[in-house]
Structure 1
Amino acid sequence: MKIVYAHHPEDVKTYTTEKLREEFVMETVFAADEITLTYSHVDRIIYGGAMPVEKALSLDAGKELAAKYFLERRELGVINVGGDGTITCDGEVHEIREKEGIYIGRGTKEVVFASKDPSRPAKFYLNSCPAHTSYPTVRINRQKALARPLGDNATMNKRTIYQFIHPDVLQSCQLSMGMTVLEEGSGWNTMPCHTHERRMEVYFYFDMAEDTRVFHMMGKPDETRHIVMSNEQAVLSPSWSIHAGIGTRNYTFIWGMCGENQDFDDMDHVAMKDLR
Protein backbone atom coordinates (compact mmCIF):
# COMPACT_ATOMS: atom_id res chain seq x y z
CA MET A 1 0.00 0.00 0.00
CA LYS A 2 1.51 3.29 -1.10
CA ILE A 3 1.16 6.15 1.39
CA VAL A 4 0.66 9.73 0.17
CA TYR A 5 0.84 12.67 2.58
CA ALA A 6 -1.14 15.91 2.48
CA HIS A 7 -0.04 18.75 0.16
CA HIS A 8 -0.05 22.48 0.84
CA PRO A 9 -1.20 24.47 -2.21
CA GLU A 10 1.75 26.84 -1.92
CA ASP A 11 4.12 23.87 -2.18
CA VAL A 12 2.30 22.37 -5.16
CA LYS A 13 3.01 25.55 -7.16
CA THR A 14 6.66 24.46 -7.32
CA TYR A 15 6.07 20.84 -8.42
CA THR A 16 7.48 19.57 -11.70
CA THR A 17 5.43 17.29 -13.95
CA GLU A 18 7.23 14.28 -12.49
CA LYS A 19 6.57 15.44 -8.93
CA LEU A 20 2.88 16.11 -9.66
CA ARG A 21 2.49 12.60 -10.99
CA GLU A 22 4.37 11.06 -8.07
CA GLU A 23 2.16 12.81 -5.51
CA PHE A 24 -1.26 12.77 -7.18
CA VAL A 25 -1.45 10.01 -9.81
CA MET A 26 -1.95 6.29 -9.24
CA GLU A 27 -0.30 5.05 -12.42
CA THR A 28 -1.25 1.36 -12.07
CA VAL A 29 -4.62 0.64 -10.49
CA PHE A 30 -5.02 -2.96 -11.70
CA ALA A 31 -2.45 -5.76 -11.62
CA ALA A 32 -3.29 -9.42 -12.21
CA ASP A 33 -4.02 -11.35 -9.01
CA GLU A 34 -3.18 -8.36 -6.82
CA ILE A 35 -4.93 -5.74 -4.71
CA THR A 36 -3.18 -2.42 -5.36
CA LEU A 37 -3.96 0.42 -2.97
CA THR A 38 -2.98 4.02 -2.21
CA TYR A 39 -3.51 5.42 1.29
CA SER A 40 -3.81 9.21 1.32
CA HIS A 41 -3.60 11.38 4.42
CA VAL A 42 -6.11 13.66 2.65
CA ASP A 43 -9.22 12.68 4.66
CA ARG A 44 -7.65 9.20 5.09
CA ILE A 45 -9.10 7.85 1.87
CA ILE A 46 -7.85 4.58 0.42
CA TYR A 47 -8.31 3.94 -3.30
CA GLY A 48 -7.13 1.35 -5.79
CA GLY A 49 -8.07 -1.87 -7.52
CA ALA A 50 -8.51 -5.62 -7.08
CA MET A 51 -8.07 -7.79 -10.18
CA PRO A 52 -8.55 -11.49 -9.45
CA VAL A 53 -7.59 -13.67 -12.41
CA GLU A 54 -6.39 -17.12 -11.39
CA LYS A 55 -7.24 -16.82 -7.69
CA ALA A 56 -9.56 -15.08 -5.28
CA LEU A 57 -8.19 -12.05 -3.44
CA SER A 58 -8.82 -11.25 0.23
CA LEU A 59 -8.82 -7.65 1.44
CA ASP A 60 -6.48 -7.47 4.43
CA ALA A 61 -5.80 -4.59 6.80
CA GLY A 62 -2.03 -4.65 6.72
CA LYS A 63 0.25 -2.72 9.02
CA GLU A 64 -0.91 0.64 7.64
CA LEU A 65 -4.34 0.45 9.30
CA ALA A 66 -3.28 -1.07 12.63
CA ALA A 67 -6.63 -2.90 12.63
CA LYS A 68 -7.72 -6.50 13.07
CA TYR A 69 -9.37 -6.41 9.64
CA PHE A 70 -9.71 -3.84 6.86
CA LEU A 71 -13.24 -2.66 7.67
CA GLU A 72 -12.91 -2.66 11.45
CA ARG A 73 -13.15 1.16 11.40
CA ARG A 74 -13.87 1.80 7.71
CA GLU A 75 -16.53 1.58 5.01
CA LEU A 76 -15.94 0.53 1.40
CA GLY A 77 -17.37 1.30 -2.02
CA VAL A 78 -16.62 -0.87 -5.06
CA ILE A 79 -17.50 -0.51 -8.76
CA ASN A 80 -16.60 -3.25 -11.24
CA VAL A 81 -15.17 -2.00 -14.56
CA GLY A 82 -14.22 -5.43 -15.94
CA GLY A 83 -15.84 -8.82 -16.47
CA ASP A 84 -18.40 -10.43 -14.20
CA GLY A 85 -17.24 -11.22 -10.69
CA THR A 86 -18.26 -11.86 -7.13
CA ILE A 87 -17.55 -10.17 -3.83
CA THR A 88 -18.03 -12.34 -0.75
CA CYS A 89 -18.74 -10.43 2.46
CA ASP A 90 -18.58 -12.56 5.61
CA GLY A 91 -19.73 -15.59 3.63
CA GLU A 92 -22.48 -13.86 1.61
CA VAL A 93 -21.78 -13.91 -2.12
CA HIS A 94 -22.73 -10.85 -4.20
CA GLU A 95 -22.73 -11.04 -8.01
CA ILE A 96 -21.18 -7.84 -9.39
CA ARG A 97 -21.32 -7.39 -13.15
CA GLU A 98 -19.64 -4.72 -15.28
CA LYS A 99 -20.49 -1.19 -14.12
CA GLU A 100 -22.29 -2.46 -11.06
CA GLY A 101 -21.19 -1.69 -7.53
CA ILE A 102 -21.57 -2.44 -3.87
CA TYR A 103 -21.41 -0.58 -0.57
CA ILE A 104 -19.87 -2.61 2.26
CA GLY A 105 -20.42 -1.36 5.79
CA ARG A 106 -18.08 -1.04 8.73
CA GLY A 107 -17.59 -4.22 10.72
CA THR A 108 -17.52 -6.63 7.76
CA LYS A 109 -14.62 -8.89 8.64
CA GLU A 110 -14.01 -10.78 5.40
CA VAL A 111 -14.10 -9.34 1.88
CA VAL A 112 -13.05 -11.64 -0.97
CA PHE A 113 -12.92 -10.72 -4.67
CA ALA A 114 -13.21 -13.30 -7.47
CA SER A 115 -13.76 -13.41 -11.25
CA LYS A 116 -16.24 -15.60 -13.11
CA ASP A 117 -14.00 -15.99 -16.19
CA PRO A 118 -10.19 -15.65 -15.99
CA SER A 119 -10.10 -14.74 -19.69
CA ARG A 120 -12.16 -11.63 -18.88
CA PRO A 121 -11.38 -10.89 -15.24
CA ALA A 122 -13.32 -8.56 -13.03
CA LYS A 123 -11.68 -5.24 -12.22
CA PHE A 124 -12.95 -3.97 -8.90
CA TYR A 125 -12.22 -0.28 -8.29
CA LEU A 126 -12.20 0.53 -4.55
CA ASN A 127 -12.74 3.62 -2.39
CA SER A 128 -12.65 3.39 1.41
CA CYS A 129 -12.74 5.94 4.21
CA PRO A 130 -13.11 5.97 8.01
CA ALA A 131 -16.60 5.27 9.35
CA HIS A 132 -18.17 6.14 12.71
CA THR A 133 -20.99 3.57 12.56
CA SER A 134 -22.17 0.54 10.60
CA TYR A 135 -24.66 0.56 7.74
CA PRO A 136 -25.98 -2.45 5.77
CA THR A 137 -24.13 -3.80 2.77
CA VAL A 138 -26.03 -2.93 -0.43
CA ARG A 139 -25.48 -4.16 -3.98
CA ILE A 140 -25.96 -1.36 -6.55
CA ASN A 141 -26.85 -2.10 -10.17
CA ARG A 142 -27.36 0.56 -12.85
CA GLN A 143 -31.11 0.59 -12.16
CA LYS A 144 -30.59 1.33 -8.48
CA ALA A 145 -28.04 4.08 -9.13
CA LEU A 146 -29.53 7.56 -9.41
CA ALA A 147 -29.06 8.92 -12.96
CA ARG A 148 -28.59 12.67 -13.54
CA PRO A 149 -28.23 13.77 -17.19
CA LEU A 150 -26.21 16.99 -17.52
CA GLY A 151 -24.57 19.22 -20.12
CA ASP A 152 -25.12 19.59 -23.85
CA ASN A 153 -23.38 19.24 -27.19
CA ALA A 154 -22.67 22.97 -27.51
CA THR A 155 -20.40 22.95 -24.46
CA MET A 156 -18.95 19.50 -25.25
CA ASN A 157 -20.00 18.08 -21.89
CA LYS A 158 -23.13 16.00 -22.48
CA ARG A 159 -22.95 13.30 -19.84
CA THR A 160 -24.87 11.23 -17.32
CA ILE A 161 -23.85 11.08 -13.67
CA TYR A 162 -24.77 7.83 -11.92
CA GLN A 163 -24.81 8.27 -8.13
CA PHE A 164 -24.04 4.87 -6.60
CA ILE A 165 -23.24 5.73 -2.98
CA HIS A 166 -25.37 8.76 -2.21
CA PRO A 167 -27.93 9.66 0.50
CA ASP A 168 -30.78 9.29 -2.03
CA VAL A 169 -29.65 5.72 -2.83
CA LEU A 170 -28.36 4.25 0.45
CA GLN A 171 -26.88 5.14 3.83
CA SER A 172 -23.15 5.55 4.36
CA CYS A 173 -21.11 7.42 6.94
CA GLN A 174 -19.14 9.83 4.76
CA LEU A 175 -18.28 8.03 1.53
CA SER A 176 -19.90 9.20 -1.72
CA MET A 177 -19.18 7.44 -4.99
CA GLY A 178 -20.48 7.32 -8.54
CA MET A 179 -19.73 7.16 -12.23
CA THR A 180 -19.92 9.76 -15.00
CA VAL A 181 -20.36 8.63 -18.62
CA LEU A 182 -19.59 11.16 -21.37
CA GLU A 183 -21.41 10.82 -24.68
CA GLU A 184 -19.64 10.62 -28.02
CA GLY A 185 -18.53 14.07 -29.13
CA SER A 186 -18.17 15.35 -25.56
CA GLY A 187 -14.85 15.73 -23.77
CA TRP A 188 -15.24 18.11 -20.82
CA ASN A 189 -16.15 16.98 -17.33
CA THR A 190 -16.94 19.34 -14.46
CA MET A 191 -16.44 22.57 -16.39
CA PRO A 192 -17.26 25.26 -15.30
CA CYS A 193 -15.27 23.90 -12.41
CA HIS A 194 -15.55 24.11 -8.64
CA THR A 195 -13.87 23.23 -5.39
CA HIS A 196 -15.47 21.95 -2.19
CA GLU A 197 -13.40 22.70 0.89
CA ARG A 198 -15.54 20.26 2.87
CA ARG A 199 -14.61 17.20 0.80
CA MET A 200 -11.71 15.75 -1.13
CA GLU A 201 -12.21 13.73 -4.33
CA VAL A 202 -10.53 11.00 -6.35
CA TYR A 203 -11.14 10.46 -10.09
CA PHE A 204 -10.54 7.14 -11.85
CA TYR A 205 -10.54 7.43 -15.65
CA PHE A 206 -11.43 4.40 -17.79
CA ASP A 207 -13.20 3.24 -20.97
CA MET A 208 -10.44 5.00 -22.91
CA ALA A 209 -8.81 3.82 -26.13
CA GLU A 210 -5.07 3.19 -26.00
CA ASP A 211 -4.23 6.38 -27.90
CA THR A 212 -6.73 8.53 -25.97
CA ARG A 213 -5.73 10.89 -23.17
CA VAL A 214 -7.51 13.09 -20.65
CA PHE A 215 -5.91 16.37 -19.61
CA HIS A 216 -6.91 16.52 -15.93
CA MET A 217 -6.99 20.03 -14.46
CA MET A 218 -6.03 20.59 -10.84
CA GLY A 219 -4.69 23.26 -8.48
CA LYS A 220 -6.05 26.44 -6.93
CA PRO A 221 -8.38 28.24 -9.37
CA ASP A 222 -5.83 31.02 -9.86
CA GLU A 223 -2.84 28.66 -10.09
CA THR A 224 -3.91 25.67 -12.21
CA ARG A 225 -1.86 22.73 -13.43
CA HIS A 226 -2.67 19.81 -15.70
CA ILE A 227 -1.86 16.12 -15.55
CA VAL A 228 -2.10 13.85 -18.60
CA MET A 229 -4.10 10.72 -17.70
CA SER A 230 -4.17 7.38 -19.50
CA ASN A 231 -6.75 4.60 -19.32
CA GLU A 232 -7.37 3.09 -15.88
CA GLN A 233 -5.40 5.62 -13.87
CA ALA A 234 -6.58 7.48 -10.75
CA VAL A 235 -5.82 11.02 -9.62
CA LEU A 236 -6.19 12.59 -6.18
CA SER A 237 -7.85 16.01 -5.67
CA PRO A 238 -7.38 17.75 -2.30
CA SER A 239 -10.31 19.87 -1.12
CA TRP A 240 -8.62 23.13 -2.20
CA SER A 241 -8.08 21.93 -5.78
CA ILE A 242 -10.29 22.15 -8.83
CA HIS A 243 -10.90 18.82 -10.58
CA ALA A 244 -11.93 18.82 -14.22
CA GLY A 245 -10.77 17.24 -17.43
CA ILE A 246 -10.86 17.40 -21.20
CA GLY A 247 -10.40 14.26 -23.26
CA THR A 248 -9.22 13.68 -26.79
CA ARG A 249 -12.33 11.48 -27.05
CA ASN A 250 -15.22 10.69 -24.73
CA TYR A 251 -14.50 8.53 -21.67
CA THR A 252 -15.96 7.40 -18.36
CA PHE A 253 -14.74 8.14 -14.86
CA ILE A 254 -15.55 7.10 -11.31
CA TRP A 255 -15.55 9.78 -8.63
CA GLY A 256 -15.29 9.21 -4.90
CA MET A 257 -15.52 11.75 -2.08
CA CYS A 258 -15.22 11.85 1.68
CA GLY A 259 -15.04 14.66 4.22
CA GLU A 260 -17.40 16.84 6.23
CA ASN A 261 -20.66 16.20 4.37
CA GLN A 262 -22.37 14.19 1.62
CA ASP A 263 -24.16 17.10 -0.06
CA PHE A 264 -23.36 16.48 -3.73
CA ASP A 265 -24.33 20.04 -4.67
CA ASP A 266 -22.24 21.71 -1.94
CA MET A 267 -19.73 23.28 -4.32
CA ASP A 268 -17.73 26.50 -4.42
CA HIS A 269 -18.21 27.41 -8.07
CA VAL A 270 -15.41 29.11 -9.97
CA ALA A 271 -16.22 31.68 -12.67
CA MET A 272 -14.41 31.21 -15.96
CA LYS A 273 -12.93 34.71 -15.67
CA ASP A 274 -11.23 33.73 -12.40
CA LEU A 275 -9.36 30.72 -13.80
CA ARG A 276 -5.63 31.14 -14.35
Structure 2
Amino acid sequence: MTLITETRHAIDPATAKTLDTTALRDHFHVGGLFAPGEIRLTYSHYDRLIVGSAAPSGAPLVLDHVAETGTASVLDRREMGILNIGAPGSVTVAGETHTLDKGDVLYVGRGAGALEFGGEGLFYILSAPAHATHPTRLIRPADARRVELGSAETSNERVIIQVLHPEVCDTCQLVMGYTQLATGSVWNTMPAHTHDRRMEAYLYFDMEADARVFHLMGEPSETRHLVMANREVVISPPWSIHAGAGTGAYTFCWAMAGDNVDFTDMDMIAMEDLK
Protein backbone atom coordinates (compact mmCIF):
# COMPACT_ATOMS: atom_id res chain seq x y z
CA MET A 1 0.00 0.00 0.00
CA THR A 2 0.96 3.64 -0.38
CA LEU A 3 0.64 6.35 2.28
CA ILE A 4 1.15 9.91 1.03
CA THR A 5 1.14 12.83 3.48
CA GLU A 6 1.69 16.58 3.24
CA THR A 7 1.56 19.50 5.66
CA ARG A 8 -0.25 22.83 5.25
CA HIS A 9 0.87 25.71 7.45
CA ALA A 10 -1.53 28.36 8.74
CA ILE A 11 -1.36 31.90 7.35
CA ASP A 12 -2.97 35.14 8.48
CA PRO A 13 -5.64 37.06 6.51
CA ALA A 14 -3.29 39.91 5.63
CA THR A 15 -0.96 37.47 3.89
CA ALA A 16 -3.87 35.75 2.17
CA LYS A 17 -4.82 39.06 0.54
CA THR A 18 -1.53 39.05 -1.37
CA LEU A 19 -1.85 35.56 -2.86
CA ASP A 20 -2.60 34.85 -6.49
CA THR A 21 -4.73 31.90 -7.62
CA THR A 22 -1.87 29.41 -7.60
CA ALA A 23 -0.76 30.40 -4.10
CA LEU A 24 -4.33 30.32 -2.77
CA ARG A 25 -4.73 26.79 -4.09
CA ASP A 26 -1.36 25.75 -2.65
CA HIS A 27 -2.55 26.80 0.81
CA PHE A 28 -6.25 25.98 0.85
CA HIS A 29 -7.11 23.52 -1.95
CA VAL A 30 -6.61 19.75 -1.55
CA GLY A 31 -6.86 17.65 -4.71
CA GLY A 32 -5.78 14.20 -5.84
CA LEU A 33 -7.78 12.35 -3.20
CA PHE A 34 -9.32 8.87 -3.57
CA ALA A 35 -6.47 7.48 -5.68
CA PRO A 36 -6.95 3.69 -5.99
CA GLY A 37 -4.79 1.69 -3.62
CA GLU A 38 -3.61 4.72 -1.65
CA ILE A 39 -4.15 6.56 1.61
CA ARG A 40 -3.58 10.30 1.20
CA LEU A 41 -3.52 12.67 4.17
CA THR A 42 -3.07 16.43 4.54
CA TYR A 43 -2.04 17.64 7.99
CA SER A 44 -3.29 21.19 8.52
CA HIS A 45 -1.95 23.57 11.14
CA TYR A 46 -5.45 25.02 11.47
CA ASP A 47 -6.54 23.29 14.69
CA ARG A 48 -4.33 20.34 13.62
CA LEU A 49 -7.11 18.87 11.50
CA ILE A 50 -6.15 16.01 9.16
CA VAL A 51 -8.16 15.58 5.95
CA GLY A 52 -7.59 12.67 3.61
CA SER A 53 -8.83 9.60 1.85
CA ALA A 54 -8.47 5.84 1.57
CA ALA A 55 -9.45 3.98 -1.60
CA PRO A 56 -8.73 0.27 -1.04
CA SER A 57 -10.05 -0.92 -4.45
CA GLY A 58 -10.51 -4.43 -3.10
CA ALA A 59 -7.06 -4.72 -1.49
CA PRO A 60 -6.82 -3.84 2.23
CA LEU A 61 -5.18 -0.57 3.28
CA VAL A 62 -3.86 -0.13 6.83
CA LEU A 63 -3.62 3.28 8.50
CA ASP A 64 -1.43 3.27 11.59
CA HIS A 65 1.74 5.34 12.00
CA VAL A 66 1.63 8.89 10.63
CA ALA A 67 4.87 10.74 11.32
CA GLU A 68 3.21 14.18 11.41
CA THR A 69 1.24 13.29 14.57
CA GLY A 70 4.37 12.43 16.58
CA THR A 71 2.78 9.29 18.05
CA ALA A 72 3.24 5.57 17.44
CA SER A 73 -0.27 5.26 15.97
CA VAL A 74 -2.34 8.02 14.40
CA LEU A 75 -5.19 7.69 16.93
CA ASP A 76 -3.07 7.59 20.09
CA ARG A 77 -4.12 11.18 20.84
CA ARG A 78 -6.77 11.73 18.15
CA GLU A 79 -10.34 10.94 17.15
CA MET A 80 -11.54 10.31 13.60
CA GLY A 81 -14.63 10.55 11.41
CA ILE A 82 -14.81 8.44 8.23
CA LEU A 83 -17.43 9.06 5.53
CA ASN A 84 -17.95 6.60 2.67
CA ILE A 85 -18.81 8.42 -0.56
CA GLY A 86 -18.46 5.37 -2.83
CA ALA A 87 -19.50 1.74 -3.13
CA PRO A 88 -19.89 -0.46 -0.01
CA GLY A 89 -16.69 -1.01 1.92
CA SER A 90 -15.44 -1.87 5.38
CA VAL A 91 -13.35 -0.40 8.17
CA THR A 92 -11.87 -2.69 10.81
CA VAL A 93 -11.12 -1.11 14.18
CA ALA A 94 -9.82 -3.02 17.23
CA GLY A 95 -10.76 -6.34 15.65
CA GLU A 96 -14.33 -5.34 14.77
CA THR A 97 -15.31 -4.86 11.12
CA HIS A 98 -17.88 -2.21 10.22
CA THR A 99 -19.57 -2.23 6.82
CA LEU A 100 -20.19 1.23 5.42
CA ASP A 101 -22.58 1.99 2.59
CA LYS A 102 -22.52 5.31 0.79
CA GLY A 103 -23.43 8.09 3.22
CA ASP A 104 -22.50 6.13 6.34
CA VAL A 105 -20.07 7.64 8.86
CA LEU A 106 -17.85 5.75 11.30
CA TYR A 107 -16.71 7.63 14.38
CA VAL A 108 -13.49 6.20 15.88
CA GLY A 109 -12.42 7.25 19.35
CA ARG A 110 -9.00 8.05 20.74
CA GLY A 111 -6.63 5.13 21.26
CA ALA A 112 -8.41 2.72 18.92
CA GLY A 113 -5.18 1.66 17.20
CA ALA A 114 -4.63 0.83 13.55
CA LEU A 115 -7.48 0.90 11.02
CA GLU A 116 -7.91 -1.37 8.00
CA PHE A 117 -9.94 -0.18 5.01
CA GLY A 118 -11.41 -2.79 2.66
CA GLY A 119 -13.86 -3.35 -0.17
CA GLU A 120 -14.65 -0.83 -2.88
CA GLY A 121 -15.48 2.12 -0.66
CA LEU A 122 -14.14 5.64 -1.11
CA PHE A 123 -13.42 6.76 2.42
CA TYR A 124 -13.08 10.43 3.36
CA ILE A 125 -10.99 10.76 6.52
CA LEU A 126 -11.10 13.56 9.12
CA SER A 127 -9.11 13.53 12.34
CA ALA A 128 -8.55 16.03 15.17
CA PRO A 129 -6.73 15.93 18.50
CA ALA A 130 -8.79 14.39 21.32
CA HIS A 131 -8.64 14.88 25.09
CA ALA A 132 -10.89 11.93 25.98
CA THR A 133 -12.02 8.59 24.57
CA HIS A 134 -15.52 8.10 23.17
CA PRO A 135 -16.83 4.78 21.83
CA THR A 136 -16.41 3.85 18.19
CA ARG A 137 -19.81 4.09 16.49
CA LEU A 138 -21.28 3.51 13.03
CA ILE A 139 -23.85 6.15 12.11
CA ARG A 140 -26.14 5.69 9.12
CA PRO A 141 -28.17 8.52 7.51
CA ALA A 142 -31.33 7.34 9.30
CA ASP A 143 -29.54 7.89 12.64
CA ALA A 144 -28.44 11.43 11.80
CA ARG A 145 -30.15 14.73 12.58
CA ARG A 146 -31.78 16.23 9.48
CA VAL A 147 -32.32 19.94 8.97
CA GLU A 148 -34.12 21.18 5.85
CA LEU A 149 -33.34 24.72 4.76
CA GLY A 150 -33.65 27.11 1.82
CA SER A 151 -36.03 27.16 -1.11
CA ALA A 152 -36.14 26.67 -4.85
CA GLU A 153 -36.88 30.40 -5.25
CA THR A 154 -33.47 31.32 -3.79
CA SER A 155 -31.63 28.37 -5.44
CA ASN A 156 -30.55 26.94 -2.08
CA GLU A 157 -33.03 24.20 -1.18
CA ARG A 158 -31.01 21.67 0.79
CA VAL A 159 -30.97 19.14 3.61
CA ILE A 160 -28.22 19.15 6.24
CA ILE A 161 -27.31 15.69 7.54
CA GLN A 162 -25.72 16.29 10.95
CA VAL A 163 -23.74 13.20 11.98
CA LEU A 164 -20.97 14.05 14.44
CA HIS A 165 -23.19 16.41 16.37
CA PRO A 166 -23.93 16.62 20.13
CA GLU A 167 -27.49 15.33 19.59
CA VAL A 168 -26.25 12.31 17.62
CA CYS A 169 -22.76 11.22 18.69
CA ASP A 170 -20.38 12.27 21.46
CA THR A 171 -17.00 13.57 20.27
CA CYS A 172 -14.19 15.66 21.69
CA GLN A 173 -14.06 18.40 19.06
CA LEU A 174 -14.98 16.96 15.67
CA VAL A 175 -18.28 18.23 14.27
CA MET A 176 -19.15 16.68 10.92
CA GLY A 177 -21.93 16.04 8.45
CA TYR A 178 -22.90 16.65 4.86
CA THR A 179 -25.32 18.84 2.95
CA GLN A 180 -27.27 17.70 -0.12
CA LEU A 181 -28.60 20.32 -2.51
CA ALA A 182 -31.88 19.69 -4.31
CA THR A 183 -31.96 19.53 -8.09
CA GLY A 184 -31.99 23.08 -9.41
CA SER A 185 -30.33 24.54 -6.30
CA VAL A 186 -26.70 25.61 -6.35
CA TRP A 187 -26.00 27.98 -3.42
CA ASN A 188 -24.62 26.83 -0.08
CA THR A 189 -24.20 28.75 3.18
CA MET A 190 -25.38 32.13 1.97
CA PRO A 191 -25.70 34.58 3.70
CA ALA A 192 -22.16 33.75 4.73
CA HIS A 193 -20.64 33.49 8.18
CA THR A 194 -17.35 33.00 10.00
CA HIS A 195 -16.56 31.27 13.29
CA ASP A 196 -13.33 32.53 14.80
CA ARG A 197 -13.30 29.73 17.38
CA ARG A 198 -13.21 26.88 14.84
CA MET A 199 -11.78 26.07 11.43
CA GLU A 200 -13.68 24.09 8.80
CA ALA A 201 -13.06 21.85 5.81
CA TYR A 202 -15.37 21.24 2.83
CA LEU A 203 -15.31 18.18 0.56
CA TYR A 204 -17.36 18.67 -2.61
CA PHE A 205 -18.65 15.45 -4.19
CA ASP A 206 -21.47 13.84 -6.19
CA MET A 207 -20.60 16.18 -9.06
CA GLU A 208 -20.40 15.47 -12.77
CA ALA A 209 -16.88 15.42 -14.24
CA ASP A 210 -17.35 18.78 -15.99
CA ALA A 211 -19.23 20.45 -13.10
CA ARG A 212 -17.58 23.02 -10.85
CA VAL A 213 -18.31 24.81 -7.58
CA PHE A 214 -17.07 28.37 -7.10
CA HIS A 215 -16.09 28.32 -3.43
CA LEU A 216 -15.99 31.76 -1.80
CA MET A 217 -13.39 32.40 0.88
CA GLY A 218 -11.49 35.27 2.51
CA GLU A 219 -12.41 38.02 4.94
CA PRO A 220 -15.93 39.41 4.34
CA SER A 221 -14.45 42.68 3.07
CA GLU A 222 -11.83 40.95 0.90
CA THR A 223 -13.33 37.85 -0.71
CA ARG A 224 -11.61 35.43 -3.06
CA HIS A 225 -12.71 32.23 -4.76
CA LEU A 226 -11.45 28.74 -5.56
CA VAL A 227 -12.83 26.69 -8.45
CA MET A 228 -13.56 23.19 -7.14
CA ALA A 229 -14.02 19.95 -9.05
CA ASN A 230 -15.55 16.68 -7.86
CA ARG A 231 -13.99 15.14 -4.72
CA GLU A 232 -11.81 18.12 -3.89
CA VAL A 233 -11.39 19.76 -0.47
CA VAL A 234 -11.12 23.34 0.79
CA ILE A 235 -9.36 24.05 4.08
CA SER A 236 -11.20 27.04 5.55
CA PRO A 237 -9.45 29.19 8.21
CA PRO A 238 -11.42 30.61 11.15
CA TRP A 239 -11.18 34.14 9.73
CA SER A 240 -12.62 33.17 6.35
CA ILE A 241 -16.14 32.95 5.02
CA HIS A 242 -17.04 29.63 3.39
CA ALA A 243 -19.82 29.59 0.85
CA GLY A 244 -20.25 28.80 -2.80
CA ALA A 245 -22.33 28.21 -5.88
CA GLY A 246 -22.11 25.40 -8.40
CA THR A 247 -22.92 24.80 -12.05
CA GLY A 248 -25.43 22.21 -10.82
CA ALA A 249 -26.53 20.43 -7.65
CA TYR A 250 -23.86 18.77 -5.52
CA THR A 251 -23.18 17.45 -2.03
CA PHE A 252 -20.53 18.67 0.36
CA CYS A 253 -19.16 17.25 3.59
CA TRP A 254 -18.41 19.87 6.21
CA ALA A 255 -16.25 19.29 9.26
CA MET A 256 -15.09 21.55 12.06
CA ALA A 257 -12.48 21.43 14.80
CA GLY A 258 -11.72 23.97 17.51
CA ASP A 259 -12.94 25.29 20.83
CA ASN A 260 -16.45 23.83 20.93
CA VAL A 261 -18.98 21.51 19.27
CA ASP A 262 -21.83 24.04 19.06
CA PHE A 263 -22.99 23.87 15.42
CA THR A 264 -24.74 27.24 15.76
CA ASP A 265 -21.59 29.08 16.93
CA MET A 266 -21.41 31.40 13.92
CA ASP A 267 -20.78 35.09 13.30
CA MET A 268 -23.24 35.98 10.55
CA ILE A 269 -22.21 38.35 7.76
CA ALA A 270 -24.79 40.72 6.29
CA MET A 271 -25.02 40.63 2.50
CA GLU A 272 -24.24 44.36 2.29
CA ASP A 273 -20.93 43.76 4.14
CA LEU A 274 -19.59 41.31 1.56
CA LYS A 275 -17.11 42.75 -0.91
Same fold (TM over 0.5): yes
8 Å contact kept, 2:89–2:118? yes
Q: Which residue of 1 aligns with 2:48?
A: 44
SS at 1:169's partner residue? coil
Q: Distance in 2 between matches of 1:235 and 1:92?
A: 32
Q: Distance in 2 between matches of 1:95 and 1:27?
A: 26
1:58 aligns with 2:57: no
8 Å contact kept, 2:201–2:254? yes
Q: Distance in 1 between matches of 2:149 and 2:65?
A: 38
Q: Distance in 1 between matches of 2:16 and 2:65?
A: 31
Q: Which residue of 1 aligns with 2:211?
A: 212
Q: Which residue of 2 aligns with 1:35?
A: 39
TM-score (norm 2): 0.98
1:20 aligns with 2:24: yes
Q: Distance in 2 between matches of 1:188 and 1:220?
A: 19
Q: Which residue of 2 aligns with 1:187?
A: 186
Q: Deviations over 1:99-152 (max 9, x none)?
A: 11110000101211001xxxxx21000110000010000101010011100101
Q: Distance in 2 between matches of 1:141 and 1:54?
A: 22
Q: Which residue of 2 aligns with 1:93?
A: 97
1:42-191 alignment runs, 5 A limit: 42-115=46-119, 121-191=120-190
TM-superposed CA distance for 1:62, in Å, is 2.3
Q: Distance in 1 between matches of 2:206 and 2:183?
A: 12
TM-superposed CA distance for 1:256, in Å, is 0.5
Q: Distance in 2 between matches of 1:94 and 1:48?
A: 19
Q: Distance in 1 between matches of 2:210 and 2:175?
A: 31
Task: Report the RMSD for the aligned CA atoms in angstroms.
Answer: 0.6
8 Å contact kept, 2:64–2:113? no
Give the counterpart letter for 1:97 in structure 2: D
Q: Distance in 2 between matches of 1:228 and 1:77?
A: 26
Q: Which residue of 2 aligns with 1:118?
A: none
Q: Distance in 2 between matches of 1:3 and 1:77?
A: 19
Q: Which residue of 1 aligns with 2:254?
A: 255
SS at 1:171's partner residue? coil
Q: Deviations over 1:207-260 (max 9, x none)?
A: 000111000000000000000000000010000000001000000000010000
TM-superposed CA distance for 1:60, in Å, is 2.0
TM-superposed CA distance for 1:61, in Å, is 2.4
Q: Deviations over 1:147-179 (max 9, x none)?
A: 100101111100000011000001000000001
Percent identity among equivalent residues?
49
Q: Distance in 2 between matches of 1:66 and 1:264?
A: 30
Q: Distance in 2 between matches of 1:200 and 1:114?
A: 30
Q: Distance in 2 between matches of 1:62 and 1:256?
A: 21
Q: Distance in 2 between matches of 1:191 and 1:53?
A: 37
Q: Deviations over 1:39-98 (max 9, x none)?
A: 000000000110001411111222211111110000000110000001000110101011
Query: How many residue pairs get matched?
Result: 271
1:196 aligns with 2:195: yes
Q: Distance in 1 between matches of 2:192 and 2:84?
A: 27
Q: Distance in 2 between matches of 1:27 and 1:131?
A: 26
SS at 1:143's partner residue? helix
Give the counterpart letter for 2:167 in structure 1: D
TM-score (norm 1): 0.97
8 Å contact kept, 2:55–2:122? yes
SS at 2:27's partner residue? helix
Give the counterpart letter for 2:223 in structure 1: T
Can you give the 5+ residue segments of structure 1 that lack an aligned partner in the other structure?
Answer: 116-120
| 4+ residue segments displaced more than 4 Å | none
